[in-house]
Amino acid sequence: MNGNNDLVNNYVWRGMDQNSGFSVQPTLGMSYKGFSLSVWGSQSLTNNAERDVQELDLNLSYSIGGLSATLTDYWWGGLHNPYGYYKEGPADNPIDGGHHFEATVAYNFGTKLPLTLSWSTWFAGADVRTDSDKRCYSTYINASYDIACPADVTLTPSVGCTPWQGYYNDKAAITDISLKAAKDVALSDKLSMPVFVQAIASPINDHVYLVAGVGIGF
């Protein structure tokens, strides 16, 4: 069993501002022989009627060597919407459907080449076109590279893109370019304090963000 709780000044996901402001983001998970099951949430601390931001994601993963496969149920329903609403909604307003189901395949090349490549596609849920009932299969591709720096800091440049029209953009595009500096501060044998600062540029939105977070994990 493992857990973590982060406090972030803003929540930016795949180059898109989630309009959350300061947010608490807890994680609870367990793993066994390559399998892992976790739940991740985000709760805005600046919530109001116009900013109804709440998220709950379920993740089931299997890893072998550097290869991993994950199934995720994303829920962005918000505080005032029922969790059990699974009706499909349009790609430009996915909250109408509540849930998105995604399959991800990722590969990490190891310590000699700390490059991670991932491909994520929504295959069910609220991801249909506004002009038809056809599924978008909205897809996000990411490449990241970990660089070990002095003082146990890890510097990670990454780039994300979408290969076709869908939730992220109306055509193929670079969605986000970022540089993240992270460090785990050991508090005891069983507790650590992860700290990070991340600069993010979103070409599709012509926005830049500076996100910082601090947490405690076990």
Is the predicted pLDDT of residue 61 greater than 80, yes or no? yes
Q: What is the DSSP string of 139-198?
A: EEEEEEE-EEEGGGEEEEEEEEEESSSSSS-SSSEEEEEEEEEEEEEE-SSS-EEEEEEE
Span 1-53, pLDDT tens digits: 999 999 999 999 999 998 888 999 999 999 999 999 999 999 988 866 565 67
pLDDT at 20: 85
Percent of the chain with pLDDT over 70: 89
Instruction: Give the pLDDT band of residue 140 (cuts 50, 70, 90).
Output: very high
- pLDDT, tens digit, 9 for 90 and up, residues 81-118: 778 766 665 555 554 557 899 999 999 999 999 999 99
